[in-house]
C-alpha cells in the first residue's frame, strides 16, 4: 500500500487505546504537554504504528493540516505516513478531515495486534497467526524438511545394504550349486553353463560377487580342459575288444 510521507519530529508512547472524544483528546494532550501549531490547532495525535502492532500517542511538531479522504494515518519512527483505507468495510473517512479530528474515525485506530492489520480491512480476517510468526515458523518448516530428508536417506541406505546382502547370499548359493551341478553335468552342457556364468558376471556390480562368479567360470573351464585331456588319452588307449596280432 503506497502512502504519502509527511516529515514530523515525534516522541511516541504506546497506549492501550486512543481518545474517542474531544474532551479525552484535550486531557491526553495536557498529560503529554503538547502545544498548538501556528494556527492554534492542538498538536496531540494518536495512531497505530506502521507495523500495526501498537497504538502510539505523541505531540506532532508540524502543522495539523488537512488529511485526504479515504486515508488513515500511521506513525513510522519520526514520520507520519498516510495509508489508503478504501478497502475498509466501514469507518474509512469519506471526506477530507483535519488531523486534530482523528478521533472521529475510530476505524483508523482499531487494529489486530497479532495479525498486524486494521480490523475493518476484509483481508485481515484471512491472515493467519502462523503467517505473522515469521522466522519462527520458517525455522520449524526447515527443520521438518531436514528431518524428512535425513529419514529418507537412512531408509535408502538401509534398503541398499539389505539388497547387497541378499545379492551376496544369492550369489554364494548360486555358485555352490554350480559347483555341485558341474560334477554330474554332461560335457555339452558344461560349455553352455560356462557361457551363462560369463553373461551373468557382466550384469554384476559388487566386486565380491564378480570374484566369486569368476571363480566358478575358472572351475568350469578347468573341468572342460580335464575332460578334453581324458578324452584324448582314452582315444590313444588300445581297444581290448580288438585282437592284437604279434608277428
Structure confidence at residue 135 (pLDDT): 60
User: Is 186 domain-assigned?
Assistant: yes
Residue at a domain's end among 81, 103, 132: 132
How far is residue 140's CA from residue 145's CA, in Å, rounded to a whole number? 9
Whether residues 33 and 125 share a domain: the answer is: yes
Query: In three state form, how does the secondary structure of the chain look?
Result: CCEEEEECCCCCEEECCCCCCHHHHHHHHHHHCCCECCCCCECEEEEEECCCCCEEEEECCCCCCEECCCEEEEEECCEEEEEECCCCCCCCCCCCEEHHHHHHCHHHCCEECCCCEECCCHHHHHCCHHHHCCHHHHHHHHHHHHHHHHHHHHHHHHHHHHHHHHHHHHHHHHHHHHHHHHHHCCHHHHHHHHHHHHHHHHCCCCHHHHHHHHHHHHHHHHHHHHHHHHHHHHHHCCCCCCCCCCC
Clarify whether residues 14 and 122 are in a common domain: yes
> What pLDDT score does 54 carry?
95
Residue 246 lies in a domain: no
Which residues, 6+ apart, have CB-to-CB distance to 45 below 8 Å? 57, 58, 59, 60, 64, 73, 99, 100, 102
pLDDT at 103: 93
Residue in the structure block whose three cell numbers are 492542538: 42
Q: 74 and 47, same structural domain?
A: yes
So what's the pLDDT on residue 92? 95
Domains in the chain, number: 2
User: Which one of 83, 102, 132 terminates a domain?
Assistant: 132
Residue 27 sits in the same domain as residue 109? yes
Based on the domain organization, do 81 and 144 belong to the same domain? no
- Same domain? 14 vs 111: yes
pLDDT number for residue 139: 76
What are phi and psi for residue 122, nearest 5 degrees? -55, -35
- Residue identified by cell 569368476 is 214
144 and 119 fall within a common domain: no
My answer on whether 194 and 77 are in the same domain is no
Domain that holds residue 23: 3-132
Q: Running along the chain, 247 residues long, what does each successive block of 10 average in pLDDT?
A: 46 90 94 90 92 92 89 84 92 93 94 94 76 62 86 83 65 50 55 65 60 64 58 53 49
Answer yes or no: do 75 and 165 share one domain.
no
Residues 155 and 205 in one domain: yes
Looking at residue 8, its pLDDT comes to: 42
The Cα–Cα gap between 67 and 95 comes to: 9
pLDDT of residue 79: 73
In a domain, 244, yes or no: no
Residue with cell 581290448: 240
Query: Residue 22 falls within a domain, yes or no?
Result: yes
Is 247 among the domain residues? Answer: no
Cell of 60: 506532532
Are 9 and 126 in the same domain? Answer: yes
**Do 157 and 45 lie in a common domain?**
no
Cα–Cα distance, 17 to 217 (Å, whole number): 91
Amino acid at each position: 500500500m503506497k502512502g504519502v510521507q509527511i516529515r514530523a519530529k515525534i516522541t511516541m508512547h504506546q497506549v492501550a487505546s486512543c481518545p474517542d472524544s474531544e474532551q479525552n483528546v484535550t486531557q491526553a494532550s495536557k498529560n503529554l504537554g503538547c502545544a498548538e501549531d501556528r494556527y492554534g490547532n492542538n498538536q496531540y495525535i494518536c495512531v497505530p504504528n506502521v507495523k500495526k502492532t501498537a497504538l502510539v500517542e505523541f505531540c506532532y511538531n508540524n502543522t495539523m493540516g488537512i488529511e485526504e479522504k479515504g486515508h488513515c494515518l500511521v506513525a513510522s519512527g519520526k514520520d507520519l505516513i498516510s495509508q489508503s483505507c478504501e478497502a475498509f468495510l466501514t469507518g474509512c473517512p469519506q471526506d477530507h478531515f483535519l488531523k486534530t479530528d482523528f478521533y472521529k474515525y475510530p476505524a483508523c485506530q482499531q487494529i489486530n495486534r497479532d495479525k498486524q492489520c486494521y480490523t475493518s480491512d476484509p483481508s485481515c480476517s484471512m491472515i493467519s497467526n502462523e503467517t505473522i510468526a515469521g522466522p519462527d515458523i520458517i525455522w520449524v518448516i526447515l527443520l521438518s524438511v531436514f528431518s524428512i530428508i535425513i529419514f529418507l536417506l537412512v531408509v535408502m541406505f538401509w534398503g541398499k545394504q539389505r539388497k547387497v546382502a541378499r545379492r551376496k547370499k544369492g550369489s554364494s548359493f548360486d555358485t555352490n550349486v554350480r559347483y555341485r551341478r558341474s560334477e554330474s553335468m554332461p560335457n555339452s552342457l558344461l560349455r553352455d553353463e560356462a557361457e551363462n556364468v560369463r553373461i551373468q558376471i557382466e550384469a554384476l556390480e559388487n566386486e565380491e560377487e564378480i570374484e566369486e562368479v569368476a571363480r566358478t567360470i575358472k572351475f568350469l573351464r578347468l573341468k572342460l580342459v580335464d575332460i578334453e585331456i581324458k578324452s584324448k588319452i582314452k582315444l590313444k588307449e588300445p581297444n581290448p575288444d580288438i585282437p592284437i596280432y604279434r608277428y
